[in-house]
Amino acid sequence: MNEKQLKSVLLGSGAAVALLATPAVAGEVDDLKAQIEALQQRLDTVEVQQTKIEDSQERVAPANAVTAGDFPGSWKLPGSDTSISFSGYVKADFIYDFDALTNSDSFGVSGIALDNSASARRDGNVRLHARQSRFRFDSRTPTDWGMMRTRIEGDFFGANGNQTASNSNSFRLRQAFGQLGPVLAGQTFTTFSDTSTYPDTVDFYGCAGVEFARQAMIRYSASLAEGLGLDLAVENPQSRITFANAAGTARSTNTNDHMPDLVARFTYSDSWGAVNLAGVGRYFTFDAGNGQSDSSLGYGVHAGANVNLWEGGNIGGVFNFGDGIGRYITGGLYRGAVAQCTNPAKNLTPGTAGCNVDVDTIWSMGGMVRLTHRWTDNLRSNVHYGFVRTDVPVSQLTSAGLGTTAANGLNNSVDYLSGNIIWSPVSRVNIGLEVMHGWRDSHQSSQTNNSGEATRVQLGMQYVF
């Protein structure tokens, strides 16, 4: 008997009792009324309980439904344990250069025009572009060996497009890696750095003096204690060796790399901030294939920190030094070693028979300090200073009578200073205004026109999805 039928029986019974009631059976009628009222109360209780059960029951999604994923912004495809997300941003940059730079899209201090040169007299330039716009694909899949993670990311800072009409800049790979448990394989930011210390700049290139490289690697990560981590990595080496030719000008060649770069990094984080310490070992080989060969070891040391100062305030910085780490330091000399002939009588380019080639690493040092302050929840400011110092191998490049101009244009030092204010009118939108100034000092055999400086103003508008 269903609920409606039960109600009908109860009501009908009550009506029949009322019609047939006589004084002789008044007591029995009262008993029946009491029983009916008790049954009605029990029926009401059952209805309430049934409603609660229906409301509390979890609704099972159809087998072909898309459901929420296991990390923010992700979702799961039907019949899969894999959570995926598609993210990125669109960014438009509006740039004005008061002075001459070789790169109109990013503020590279190493390319500032030298004083009194023809390039330096061509000051003033306007540039608008959207090359920093970015796409990123992420996934997470639980396995018996731990979480499997993948990422593919790219932007449009590849080959320059034709500004005449289409401005179709080439898409390029930034990151592509997979990770299963503690082991990562693929291309991502070098372990000889810490991205948490990277400055918050409007300019894409960022602050000089910061360690930076994205390259292929195999990395193992372990947690040693609460807040303490260790990373060990084998990374792509990409040696660059400079030598002077018979015309007395410096050249750079990518030699055969016999060993990968070996990197170790310790990180520690707590409520007050974080610190990190890293080291890299490198191996340079110059081999001309004619019996002229030599090799040299290089190394680098990195230290970085972030410290919370006050509510909304944070200070951070990095310091690095070493032999043969030029390509790891933003704004530095991207050559790690120099090759020279130890037989002056030959006056030959290294690699020629009889030269007796010798390879020496180039010493570099760099650093960066930044201060961040949040004025409100949607307004923040940043100030950055960075520097790079390089021991330019003048004596090696000008040896063997190859001329005094071989080291010309190689930077002894670069300095960078910037400040910005970034406003987020709504979530996922950032509008920033930044002023940058840079100094460059390079080697010149004449000791004139060996320095330059430049200033840039940039407005960036970023829309994150």
Could you say which DSSP state residue 287 is in? E
CB atoms within 10 A of CB 180: 15
* Nearest-angstrom CA–CA distance, 285 and 294: 6
* Nearest-angstrom CA–CA distance, 415 and 451: 11
What percentage of the chain exceeds 90 in pLDDT? 57
The arithmetic mean of pLDDT across residues 93-109, rounded, is 92
Q: Can you tell me whether residue 44 is helix, strand or coil?
A: helix
What percentage of the chain exceeds 70 in pLDDT? 83
pLDDT at 373 over 90: yes
pLDDT digit string, tens, across residues 52-90? 666 655 555 566 788 888 899 999 988 889 999 999 999
In sequence order, what are the beta bridge partners of 272? none
* pLDDT for position 50: 72
Burial class of residue 296 (count of CB atoms within 10 Å of its CB; 0-12, 13-18, 19+): buried
Name the CA dihedral angle for 86, 92, 98, 103, rounded to a multiple of 10 degrees.
Answer: 40
* Nearest-angstrom CA–CA distance, 79 and 138: 18
Q: In terms of pLDDT, which residue wins out, 193 or 167?
A: 193
Distance spanning both ends of the chain, measured CA to CA: 57
* Nearest-angstrom CA–CA distance, 366 and 210: 7
* pLDDT for position 357: 85
414 within 8 A of 208, measured Cβ to Cβ: yes
* pLDDT for position 289: 81
- Closest listed residue to residue 199, CA positions, set 419, 365, 379, 374: 419
Q: Which two tokens stand for residue 329?
A: 């330091």
- Mean pLDDT, the chain, whole residue set: 86
pLDDT band at residue 398 using 50, 70 and 90 as cut-offs: low
Alpha carbon separation from 3 to 12, 32, 47, 237 (Å, rounded): 14, 20, 9, 79
pLDDT digit string, tens, across residues 119-156? 788 878 999 999 999 999 999 999 999 999 999 999 99
pLDDT at 199 over 70: yes
* pLDDT for position 449: 67
Q: Does domain 71-464 have CATH number 3.90.550.10?
A: no
91 within 8 A of 133, measured Cβ to Cβ: yes
In sequence order, what are the beta bridge partners of 375? none
pLDDT at 25 over 60: no
pLDDT band at residue 400 using 50, 70 and 90 as cut-offs: very low
The arithmetic mean of pLDDT across residues 329-352, rounded, is 78
Could you say which DSSP state residue 444 is in? -
pLDDT digit string, tens, across residues 441-452? 987 655 566 889
- Compute φ and ψ for 400, nearest 5 degrees: 60, 25
* pLDDT for position 401: 46
Alpha carbon separation from 313 to 274, 300, 305, 306, 309 (Å, rounded): 14, 30, 14, 11, 5
102 within 8 A of 113, measured Cβ to Cβ: yes
Burial class of residue 370 (count of CB atoms within 10 Å of its CB; 0-12, 13-18, 19+): buried
* pLDDT for position 247: 58
Q: Which two tokens stand for residue 252?
A: 């750079």
- Compute φ and ψ for 440, nearest 5 degrees: -135, 135
pLDDT band at residue 185 using 50, 70 and 90 as cut-offs: very high
* pLDDT for position 396: 67
The arithmetic mean of pLDDT across residues 430-439, rounded, is 98
Q: In terms of pLDDT, which residue wins out, 382 or 99?
A: 382
* pLDDT for position 431: 99
Tokens 């949040």 sit on residue: 374
pLDDT digit string, tens, across residues 228-271? 999 999 999 998 888 766 555 666 776 889 999 999 999 999 99
* Nearest-angstrom CA–CA distance, 172 and 157: 7
* pLDDT for position 20: 47
- Closest listed residue to residue 192, CA positions, set 448, 428, 443, 366: 366
- Closest listed residue to residue 103, CA positions, set 331, 405, 369: 331
Q: Domain boundaries in the chain? A: 3-56, 71-464
Of the CA atoms within 13 Å of residue 108, those in its CB half-sphere come to: 16
Q: Which two tokens stand for residue 332?
A: 């530095």
75 within 8 A of 67, measured Cβ to Cβ: yes
* pLDDT for position 27: 66
pLDDT band at residue 24 using 50, 70 and 90 as cut-offs: low
Tokens 């990197």 sit on residue: 263
